[in-house]
Amino acid sequence: MQSVMPSINVIEVSSLSKVYNVGEKFIKAIDDVSFSVKEGMVFGLLGPNGAGKTTTIKVLTTLTRPDKGRCIIGGFDLQKEPMEVKRLIAVVPQENNLDRELTAYENLLIYGKLHGVKDLKEKIEDKLRMVALMDRKDTMVSQFSGGMQRRLLLARALLSEPAILFLDEPTIGLDPQIRRQLWDVIRKTRIDGRTVVLTTHYIEEAEALCDQVAILSQGSIVANDTPENLKKLAGEYVVDVIDDTGKLSQSFFSSRDDALRELNKVGIGAKMRTTNLEDAFVRLTGMRIE
Amino acid sequence: MISCPNWYPIFLREMLMFRRKLLKMGYLFSAMIVPVIYLATFGLGLGRSVNIGGTDYVNYLIPGLVAMSSMTNSYTWVATALNLNRIYFKTFQVFVQSPVSSCSIMIGQVLAGMVKGLFASLLILIVGFITSGALPISPLFFVTLLLNCFLFASLGVITGMKTRTHEDTSTYNNFFIMPMAFFSGTFFPIDRMPELLQILVYVFPLTHTNILMRKTMMDIGAMVSLSVLIVFATLFFIYGSRLIKNYSE
């Protein structure tokens, strides 16, 4: 694995903004976003579609130039030293960008050569084994299922042994079994000492994988903390009440006693439980993730 | 080249795909059909009754067809592939996010375009030789062919980077490539055109390719045409590299 400079924060983002001109409208994709990521952690950007997660990833992976702000990645200034940043990072994009007219092996071969990977043949085979695709190495990617393509994307990204791995909605559209297989690979990546930045709109994914979560809403970060602290921030206990029209209303409480009092007050139709990350998201953004 | 050392993976990717296309007979057939039609209709049809500059029309036509085919193949393959890879398949983004310079990406794409242009040219030379026995190859012809492929592959990168939809590629084709193919001395000498049109036609790089491909030795005219091609090729290459360097989504 390539090493980054011995700094605690491997990513430092300050006042990042990006505005897109769509027709005659100006849309703020990200607006004054600041956060930092410590080395070796899994950092999640959680938010609904259009919150600015992908734009943030595109900026951090040199695909999009920001209008404002500064990003330091592995000690290198993204705008001034993009080539140094590119040597440290790898990306699994939201949209599959594998070459469909090439085999799995050829896809990794080209990527490995682009990144100057040594002992390429052995490493390709190692990564293909890791994602259980070794027996399909000479199959054209166009014949792969969606889950196999996502696994190959992950293998490709890990081929260059990046210090920082960016995953943009890594399990989108996958069935639960494949999703959990990919989660295992991501956890292994973290154990290997890599820093992982992932975007997701799956609450359970953020909860299962992330050490720290930044909640994005309409291009801005509304909260940034550990999943546990975010739940505490919302209130550790929640009372769900469903009225006669079927509408759900929620009340949050920091103590169990307060929540129990509310439960007894409302009576039938009310349920008390501990807060999850989705509740925290709803509380902090006023929105529900679809 | 020294500052752009990592062009090979980009070139290799294109060649792996090209090799696969070559194994499909449909590709070979489609690459050959247009020049064969031109050669059959213009060359063999008119060839017997038309004489240009003291030579058979077929002998006049073959270098023109090579120039035209090397242009369309170098240009179209690069422009179309880059447009699709950037907008639809998103595979171009892999290059941008890799530690390779814009110049390396440009060289890889242009060399791949050149190979496709040279391959199409070779097909025409073979068909031309079989049908007429003519094989108009000289060192100047070969240098011009390489330069023409380089120039139009570079222009293909520019189109591939500038176009916003796949349909835009056809628009560029219809407005620039098609008129150039027909009015640059491919099928008939430029001096038979109206004078006003001749001025415009001399701006087209393909005109100078046609002039050079029919020359048997270097003279002042050849030097001028060669200089024009080198200037166009350099400008297109630099502009294409800049477009890649400034790429942002």
Please write the tens of the pLDDT for every residue from A193-226. 899 999 988 888 998 899 999 999 889 999 999 9
Contact criterion met (CB < 8 Å) for B95 and A89:
no
User: How confident is the model at residue B186, as a pLDDT?
Assistant: 87
Contacts of A149 (CB under 8 A, 6+ apart): A96, A98, A141
- C-alpha Rg value of chain B to the nearest Å: 18
B97 with A62: Cβ contact below 8 A: yes
pLDDT band at B1 (very low <50, low <70, confident <90, very high): very low
User: Nearest-CA residue of chain A relative to B244?
Assistant: A63
Chain-wide mean pLDDT for chain A? 90
Report the number of distinct structural domains present in chain B: 1
Alpha helical stretches, state H, chain B: 8-22, 25-38, 57-87, 92-96, 102-132, 139-162, 166-172, 178-183, 195-201, 205-213, 220-245
Structure tokens at B126: 């073979």
Q: Is A188 a member of any domain?
A: yes
Chain A residues with CB under 8 Å of B17 CB are 99, 101-102
Q: Are residues A190 and A235 in the same domain?
A: no
Q: Which residues in chain A have their CB less than 8 angstroms from residue B16's CB?
A: 102, 106, 110
A104 and A132 belong to one structural domain: yes
- pLDDT at site A89: 97
CB-CB under 8 Å, A58 with B6 = no
In this structure, what token pair is assigned to residue A278? 């989705």
With a cut of 80, say whether residue B30 has pLDDT above it: no
Domain-embedded: residue A1: no
Interchain pair A114, B91: CB under 8 A: no
Both A210 and A269 in one domain: the answer is no
pLDDT in tens, chain A (290 residues): 554 444 489 999 999 999 998 878 888 999 999 999 999 999 999 988 888 999 999 999 999 999 999 999 999 999 999 999 999 999 999 999 999 999 999 999 999 999 999 999 999 999 999 999 999 999 999 999 988 999 999 999 999 999 999 999 988 878 888 888 889 988 988 888 899 999 988 888 998 899 999 999 889 999 999 999 988 888 889 898 888 787 888 888 888 898 888 888 887 778 888 888 888 888 887 766 55
CB A75 within 8 A of CB A4: yes
Q: For a pLDDT cut of 70, what percent of chain B falls above it?
A: 97
Specify the higher pLDDT residue, B235 or A271.
B235
Residue A267 lies in a domain: yes
pLDDT(B2) > 50: no
Distance of CA A257 to the CA centre of its chain: 36
Q: Is the pLDDT of residue B17 over 80?
A: yes
Residues B10-28, mean pLDDT to the nearest whole number: 89
Average pLDDT of chain B, as a whole number = 89
- The residue in chain A having the minimum alpha-carbon distance to the alpha carbon of residue B102 is A83
At A202, is the secondary structure helix, strand, or coil?
coil
Which chain B residues are closer than 8 Å to A59 by Cβ? none
Of A65, A86, A99, the CB nearest to B13: A99
Which CATH number does the domain housing residue A152 bear? Answer: 3.40.50.300
Per the model's pLDDT, the better-predicted residue between A49 and B28 turns out to be: A49
Q: What is the total residue count of chain B?
A: 249
Query: Is A101 in contact with B12 (Cβ distance < 8 A)?
Result: no
| Residues A262 and A155 grouped into a single domain | no
Does a structural domain hold residue A157? yes
Q: Which residues pair with A77 in a beta bridge?
A: A72
CA distance A141 to chain B (A): 13
Averaged pLDDT, B180-187: 88
- Which of chain B's residues have a Cβ under 8 Å away from the Cβ of A87? 99
Indicate if A13 and A133 belong to the same structural domain: yes
Among candidate residues B148, B153, B156, the one with its CA nearest the CA of residue B211: B148
% of residues, chain A, pLDDT over 90: 57
C-alpha–C-alpha distance, residues A271 and A241, integer Å: 7
User: Token pair 């477009």 is at which residue?
Assistant: B243
Query: Would residue A290 count as lying in a domain?
Result: no
Contact flag A63-B6 (C-beta cutoff 8 Å) = no
Q: What is the pLDDT of residues B124-182, one digit of tens each?
A: 888 888 877 777 788 899 999 999 999 999 999 999 999 988 888 888 888 889 889 88
CB atoms within 10 A of CB A79: 14
Range of the domain at B202: 5-245
How confident is the model at residue B3, as a pLDDT? 57
Kindly state whether residues A277 and A170 are assigned to the same domain. Answer: no
Nearest chain A CA: its distance from B126 CA (Å): 29
Decide: A32 and A16 in contact? Cβ < 8 Å.
yes
The range of the structural domain enclosing residue A243 comes to 230-285
Q: Does residue A269 share a domain with residue A205?
A: no
B41 falls in which pLDDT band (50, 70, 90)? Answer: confident
Neighbours of A232 (CB within 10 A): 14
**Domain boundary pick from A186, A207, A226:** A226
Domain identity same for A112 and A250:
no
Distance CA A15, CA A68 (A): 7
Residues A258 and A171 in one domain: no
Is the pLDDT score of B5 beyond 80? no
| Distant-in-sequence, close-in-space partners of A84: CB < 8 Å, separation ≥ 6 | A74, A76
Q: How many domains does chain A have?
A: 2
What are the structure tokens assigned to B13, written together?
Answer: 């990717």
